[in-house]
Amino acid sequence: MGNQVVVVGGGYAGVMAANRLAGRGDATVVLVNERDYFVERIRLHEVASGVRESCRLSFDEVLHASVRRVTARVASIDAGMSRLLFADRDALAYDYLVYAAGSTARPMPSDSDDEPGMPHLSVSTDEDAARARQAVRNAAPGSAVVVRGAGHTGIELASELRAARPDIHVHLVSRGPVGRSLGAAGGKEAERALTRLGVRIHRGDGAVPAPALVLHTDGFVGASLAAESGLPVNDRGQLEVGADLRVREHPNIVGAGDGCHIGGAQNTHLRMGCASALPQGAHVADVVGALIDGAAPAAHSAGFVAQCVSLGRTRGLIQAVHPDDTPRRIRLRGRPAAVFKELICRQTVRWMRQEARRPGTYRWPAGPAARVNE
Ligand SMILES: Cc1cc2nc3c(=O)[nH]c(=O)nc-3n(C[C@H](O)[C@H](O)[C@H](O)COP(=O)(O)OP(=O)(O)OC[C@H]3O[C@@H](n4cnc5c(N)ncnc54)[C@H](O)[C@@H]3O)c2cc1C
């Protein structure tokens, strides 16, 4: 077997994996991504609300110089022949495939379900955020904009909208408690902060009369590529991988990030998020490294330290958590929390850059069950 490693998806997991593998020096690493730039996805609500111009970074800024780049959308993974298929270019063969295709928004309801012509948009991708930004700009003063979903993204988007467009009414519609994963106390605190900012919170279906725009933040699903290629997926379209991040039926395919669901009792706490994607990207590179060396790959283990939520540009909420993501009593709030959140966002890019400069140096917190990364 040769050592051509192809990484599908140039997000947080894919870039981290490619950089770490490039440092080995004995593998050819190819990164396939549909755009020719990196998207700081964790900032897309800033673009959508209008407080930030762009989330694009040149791959030159974050990727190891030896990684070969292919800008194309993969149409299908031919796992039997170990190759990727494209609509408009030749197939690309791999010895090992890292599946890091991330996630997208669930399909949006059609306009005709509500007011004809009223846009339903998401903030999930670079293109989605650009469309949302334009629609927010077009919203007339005094009109209502609805944010659906009161998880982290919904809370952050609603707050940013108040900061960017104080002349519109922002409604946050939540099926369950606001900020559920922050825990009861953290969620209440987020709710109070939103109310102070002027965001109107609705429970259940929360009918808001004649909104100008509905922005959906509830529910991300795995990228469609795995299911379209006939690979095993869960009900959210995520590629099923074992605790060692390998696909059981195709052991030369490994996965990391939002696009994958990891089996194993020690991984049940892992959620879609950049905080999961970076450690998984690093670990998946170590798994491929072990396979190249003929060694047995280790099981993945990663834990969380905090949940970080921005509340507009000047306030935030940092909820300390146990490694299994359950809330602790410690919380940081207000301006210091906003500064901390901004530092974390910058740090995600620094971690990828650091791995490009000195591959193999990225470390992450151990998971609740085992400490395998030390
Ligand atoms: C508005 C917003 C705010 C967020 N805030 C936070 C936060 O504060 N903290 C946090 O932890 N997480 C946050 N997240 C979630 C975080 O962005 C994702 O968990 C993270 O991006 C997942 O990384 P990834 O590498 O798995 O996938 P992605 O970053 O989505 O990258 C996947 C890449 O694969 C490419 N791709 C997909 N299919 C194909 C194909 N067929 N061919 C070629 N390329 C393909 C995509 O274009 C993309 O470039 C936020 C998400 C959003 C939308």
Q: What is the pLDDT of residues 36-89, one digit of tens each?
A: 999 999 999 999 999 999 999 999 999 999 999 999 999 999 999 999 999 999
Instruction: Pick the atom of ligand 1 nearest to 72's CA.
Output: 43
Give the percent of the chain with pLDDT over 90: 87
Token representation of residue 290: 């072990």
Q: Is the alpha carbon torsion for 82, 8, 28, 21 positive or negative?
A: negative
Percent of the chain whose pLDDT exceeds 70 = 95
Q: Is residue 13 part of a domain?
A: yes
Of 182, 216, 250, which residue sits at a domain end? 216
Which residue among 37, 41, 229, 271 is best mutated to probe the pocket of ligand 1, counting the most ligand atoms within 8 A of its Cβ?
A: 41
The one-letter amino acid code at 150 reads A
Question: How many Å apart are CA 178 and CA 172, to the nearest integer?
Answer: 9
The ligand 1 site (C-beta within 6 Å) comprises: 8-14, 32-35, 39, 41-42, 44-45, 73-74, 100-103, 123-124, 152-153, 223, 225, 257-259, 272-275, 277
Q: Residue 307 is which amino acid?
A: Q
Are 135 and 157 in the same domain?
Answer: yes
Identity (one letter) of the amino acid at 133?
A: R
The verdict on residue 310 lying in a domain is no
For residues 100 and 224, state if they share a domain.
yes
Task: Output DSSP code: residue 43.
Answer: G
Which tokens go with 102?
Answer: 């991330």
Q: Residue 252's closest CA among 78, 16, 75? A: 78
Confidence of residue 371 (pLDDT cuts 50, 70, 90): very low
Range of the domain at 206: 107-216
- Does residue 115 share a domain with residue 250? no
* Cα–ligand 1 centroid distance for 11 (angstroms): 6
**Residues 141-188: tens digit of each pLDDT:** 999 999 999 999 999 999 999 999 999 999 999 989 999 999 999 999
Whether 22 maps to a domain, the answer reads yes
How many separate domains does the chain show? 2
Residues 270 and 173 in one domain: no
One domain, residues 205 and 111: yes
Nearest to 150 by CA among 311, 288, 34, 290: 311
Mean pLDDT of 356-373: 82
Report residue 356 CA to chain centroid gap.
20
- DSSP bridge pairs for 93: 83
Ligand 1 nearest atom to the CA of residue 124, by list position: 53
Q: How far apart are CA 196 and CA 73, in angstroms?
A: 44
Q: Is residue 372 classed as helix, strand or coil in its secondary structure?
A: coil
Beta strands 250-255 and 246-247: pairing type? antiparallel
Say if residue 148 is in the same domain as residue 286.
Answer: no
Nearest protein CA to atom 27 of ligand 1, as residue: 102
H helices of 23-144, in order, are 44-49, 59-62, 126-138
Is residue 113 exposed (0-12), middle (13-18) or buried (19+ Cβ within 10 Å)? exposed
The residue that leads in pLDDT, 268 or 353, is 353
Q: Supply the pLDDT for residue 148.
A: 93
Q: Which pair of structure tokens corresponds to residue 149?
A: 């979903």
Strands 83-86 and 92-93, sheet pairing = antiparallel
Q: Which CATH number characterizes residue 186's domain?
A: 3.50.50.60
Model confidence pLDDT, tens digit, residues 189-227: 999 999 999 999 998 866 787 889 999 998 899 999 999
Does residue 113 register a pLDDT over 80?
no
- End position of a domain, from candidates 188, 216, 244: 216
What is the pLDDT averaged over residues 126-130?
96
Which protein residue has the closest C-alpha to ligand 1 atom 51? Answer: 42
Q: Give 114's pLDDT tier (boundaries 50, 70, 90).
A: low
Answer yes or no: do 140 and 176 share one domain.
Answer: yes
- Per DSSP, what are the bridge partners of residue 58? 37
The rounded Å distance from CA 159 to ligand 1 centre is 21
Mean pLDDT of 24-36: 96
Task: Tell me the average pLDDT of the chain.
Answer: 93
Alpha-carbon distance of 33 to 83, in angstroms, equals 15
Q: With respect to residue 127, please indicate whether it lies within any of the assigned structural domains.
A: yes
CA of 222 from ligand 1 middle (Å) equals: 10
Q: How far is the CA of 255 from the centre of ligand 1 (A)?
A: 14
**Measured from the CA of 258, which atom of ligand 1 is nearest?**
26
Answer whether residue 255 is part of any domain: yes
- Is 164 in the same domain as 212? yes
In a shared domain, residues 209 and 231? no
Q: What is the pLDDT of residues 78-93, one digit of tens each?
A: 999 999 999 999 999 9
User: Do the domain assignments include residue 57?
Assistant: no
- pTM exceeds 0.75 for this model: yes
Same domain, 15 and 151: no
The full length of the chain comes to 374
Pocket test for ligand 1, best of 260, 274, 276 (most atoms within 8 A of CB): 274
pLDDT 10s digits, 261-280? 999 888 899 999 999 999 99
In a shared domain, residues 149 and 189: yes
pLDDT confidence tier of residue 118, bands split at 50, 70 and 90: confident
* Domain membership flag for residue 146: yes
Residue 139 counted as domain residue: yes
Q: What is the Å distance from ligand 1's center to 87 Cα?
A: 23
Q: Do 135 and 181 sit in the same domain of this protein?
A: yes
Residue of the CA atom closest to atom 29 of ligand 1: 11
Whether the per-residue pLDDT at 130 is higher than 70: the answer is yes
DSSP codes joined into one string, 199-266: -EEEETT---SS-SEEEE-S-EEE-THHHHTT--B-TTSPEEE-TTSEETTEEEEEE-STTEEE-SGG
Look at ligand 1, atom 12, and give the residue with the nearest C-alpha: 273
Please answer whether residues 60 and 37 qualify as being in contact, where contact means their C-beta atoms are separated by less than 8 angstroms.
Answer: no
Q: Which of 199, 216, 233 is the last residue of a domain?
A: 216
